[in-house]
Structures are given as C-alpha cells and as structure tokens.
Amino acid sequence: MELEKQVTITKRKDRQLLVLLHLSQLLDYISGLGGIIVPLIIWLTNRDKVEGLDQQGKLVLNFKLSMLLYIFISLPLILVFGLGILLLVIIGFISFIFPIINAVKVSNDETPYYPFTIKFID
C-alpha cells in the first residue's frame, strides 16, 4: 500500500512585491535593460510563491517586449518624414506612465491594464 503525500502550496499575498514588479520597469530610464531584466528575475523567482505574480509578471513582460518591438519598428520610420521620432516619443510616454498607473492600481487591489500589448508569453 502506497501512501501519497499531497503537498499544497499556499501562496502569500504580497502587494508590495507586485507594486515593485510594475515600478521596476522604470529602470529602463536609468540602466537601459534593467526594466526588462529585473521584472523577469522577480517573476521567475516568485511566481509560485506570491498570489497573482505569475499573471502580472507575464503581463509586465509582454508589455516590455511589445514596447521593444514597437521601438525596433519605429527606428526605420525615422527616415520617413521623421514619423519614427513621433512614435518613439509616444512609446516613451506610454512606457513611463502606465507602470506608474498600474502600480497604483495594484496597491489599491485593482486589475492592471497595459495598452498595445502583444501576448508573447501565455
């Protein structure tokens, strides 16, 4: 007779870590790639430990990858009447404002939303 142990993993609620996850995207403005590396590390190390971190980590990483793709698309468009410069300004504005808005939403226990996000990680 085999006894099976059922291990139940209880996830803790940690709103501060979720807020830090969203605000860590702003490291792009300080260190370049820190805004994608730090959220990736937070997501990979805590996704099984913190409630909601797996879903929000995927959301943040999808947003960062989408913005990176839009930046690469807008670079050649600089040669077309400077349209790429306008797109880069808009992308910079969206990349700066929405992490702050969503950090506030998460701290108030609301659902975050990032516009123009492509689902790379499901």
- Domain regions of the chain by residue span: 15-107
pTM (2 decimals)? 0.87
Express each pLDDT in 70-111 by its tens digit: 999 999 999 887 889 999 999 999 999 999 999 999 999 999
> How many DSSP H helices and E strands does the chain contain?
5, 0
Whole-number mean pLDDT of the chain?
Answer: 91
Taking CB atoms within 8 Å and a gap of at least 24, the contacts of 10-13 are 11/48, 11/49, 11/50, 11/51, 12/49, 12/50, 12/51, 13/50, 13/51, 13/52
Mean pLDDT value of segment 112-120: 95
